[in-house]
Amino acid sequence: MGKKHDKRDGRDRADKRNKRDKRDARGKSAEGLEREPAGSAQPPATGPVSAPASALAPGATLATPEVDARAGRRRSPFDLTGRTALVTGASRGIGAAIARSLDAQGARVILSARTRSDCEEVAAGLDNEPLVLVAARATDDGAERLATEVLDAVGAVDVLVNNAGVARRSGSAELTGADVDLLYRVNVRNLLLLTARLIPPMIARGGGSVVNVSSVVGQRGAPWRAGYAATKGAVDALTRALAMEHGPQGVRVNAVAPGVVDTAMWRAALAQPGVVDSVLGLVPLRRLSKADDVADVVAFLASDASRYVTGQVIAVDGGMASGLNLYPSV
């Protein structure tokens, strides 16, 4: 009987030692993980990250933040140094602000508009060898002519900002065929044709970013804006379609939708009694937008900071299109 108890006690002690050893091993493993510096499981950012060939479409590149080899640190994803951007409608207002914002991030900017002198005035304040091209945006061949001039001058662009546009404020009953044709020719037709012409060289260059300037009236109903709203709805739709088509080739396509911006286009309307107070009652941030508010979002979409953003229409309107304010005095 004593020998049997001795054997059982021996087995029990061995089992306890095994369990204790396993607990100790788990504890040491956990300690090792806790002591490991945050992020050490990830490889250091020393260059482009490779991906399985099956993960990328033919000709596509995997966008990753670049590394500044001279400084030995990660390059800012907002940096546009070494890139070329075309901004249409760049002579004033939102377009001029976009040109300045892209230039501030290091991009070389090509400014395009109808009036050379106005573009040259904006270009005079830029630092990175700006180029001015005159564009007849309202003509049938305006997009083709501008694309040819751009490609002849720089070969390809990395960023395309389609800002040029026209607006008409009138009741739908007063719209003429000429009005509608002009709105669609400038705001949709030439925008789409210019983009279609410049994307293939952009792909050959390794990809890029297209940013279309739309409007909140493409998302929300606005009286006396039926023709203009229709074109901006079309811009939103083609933005999504082009993003799906060209994403596999490394081209991102997005849009910004400004609200009421304090520019020359809005000055006459804002000067009417009560209009500013009415608009501010619809804007949660309780101020009118400045052109720079829109321009800085465009610069974000042009940069690698938005490298995983495509097919989006981003409202830059102080929250105006986000809801219905039933209590405008609040």
Annotated catalytic residue within 228, 290, 308, 327:
228
Produce one character per residue of 68-87: b if its CB has 16 or more CB atoms within 10 Å, e if not: eeeeeeeebebbbeebbbbb
Helix orientation angle between 116-123 and 93-104, rounded to the nearest 10 degrees: 30
CB-CB contact of 159 with 82 (8 Å): no
Is beta strand 67-68 parallel, antiparallel or unpaired with respect to 73-74?
antiparallel
* Annotated catalytic residue 232: yes
Instruction: Measure the CA–CA gap between 160 and 190, rounded to whole angstroms.
Output: 13
Query: Please, what is the end-to-end C-alpha distance for the chain in angstroms?
Result: 90
CB-CB contact of 126 with 103 (8 Å): yes
Tally Cβ neighbours within 10 Å of residue 21: 10
Annotated catalytic residue within 22, 232, 290, 327:
232
Strand partners, 161: 87, 211
What amino acid positions are annotated as catalytic residues?
A: 228, 232
